[in-house]
Amino acid sequence: MIDNNKQFRLIRSGTQSARLNMATDEALVKSFEEDDLPILRLYSWEKSFTIGVSQKFSTYSHLEEYNKNYAKRITGGGVLFHGHDLSYSLLIPVSFMKSLSVKESYEKICTFLLEFYKKLGLNAIYAKDDENISLSKSEFCQVGFEAYDILVNGIKIGGNAQRRTKKLIFQHGSIPIKPVLDTNRKHEIGYCLDEFDINLSYEETQERVASAFEKAFNATLLQSKLNTKEEETLSLLLKDKYDYAK
């Protein structure tokens, strides 16, 4: 299981474009082998947005507004706006969760997020555990309610998405930190920590997320960066798949 005092690579990617962030996720997935150390990646974004793997950019009218800074995720779901949030990506071997269903693995993995919010003094729960919430889907990630979305006082504060291969479970999610000035899109962008009187820098949020992860899973995080194989895969993806101007 994930909480048996495992060592994880911790990759801090800093603030990047949507293309670079999502290409990095895919490069890590494509490069991962079952005997590799699991990975936790923490990163932030330039002003941008991402869409689910099955969506089409042509569906949306705000491409120019975001200076064409957008990308597809390798997971499903709707539109997610970035530039005010810290994100995580987690890669673990399937063997870590072999006894758990997909739903159970969501609940297990997301415990570190509940720990993070708890340490901030917030009463965070899963959407499925709030009797006043009706689970629903939306074309905008922060509008609908999935079972393991995180709620504080009935308000959605973050979401997560998962993808599985024969080798690994990949999950990523977003923690909104700062308010967004675009009030016209407020409903679609969602709420953030600042609106709960929690004012954190991106650096402090990273430290707190990493600490919550170590505590929740009795894990040891080892500072790391992309290795040669991952860098080479990333370069190819940026050229061949994530160059949307082609």
CATH number of the CATH domain containing 67: 3.30.930.10
User: Is 36 part of any domain?
Assistant: yes
pLDDT average, residue stretch 18-37: 96
pLDDT of residue 212: 97
Tell which wins on pLDDT, 63 or 206: 206
| Cross-strand pairs, 136 | 145
pLDDT tens by residue, 187-228: 778 889 999 999 999 999 999 999 999 999 999 999 999 999
Q: What is the percent of the chain where pLDDT is above 90? A: 60
Task: With a cut of 90, say whether residue 148 has pLDDT above it.
Answer: no
Distance CA 246, CA 232 (A): 21
pLDDT average, residue stretch 6-22: 96
pLDDT of residue 62: 66
Helix (H) or strand (E) holding 194: none
pLDDT average, residue stretch 165-179: 93
For residue 145, the number of C-alpha atoms closer than 13 Å in the C-beta half-sphere is 18
User: Is 44 part of any domain?
Assistant: yes
Residues 6+ apart with CB under 8 A from 69: 17, 18, 19, 46, 47, 48, 49
Domain housing 143:
7-240
Tell me the pTM.
Answer: 0.93
Count of domains for the chain: 1
User: Is 219 part of any domain?
Assistant: yes
pLDDT tens by residue, 86-139: 999 999 999 888 888 888 888 899 999 999 999 999 999 998 888 888 776 777
Task: With a cut of 70, say whether residue 246 has pLDDT above it.
Answer: no
Mean confidence (pLDDT) of the chain? 89
pLDDT of residue 218: 93
User: Is 1 part of any domain?
Assistant: no
User: Is 206 part of any domain?
Assistant: yes
User: Is 182 part of any domain?
Assistant: yes
User: Is 2 part of any domain?
Assistant: no
User: Is 69 part of any domain?
Assistant: yes
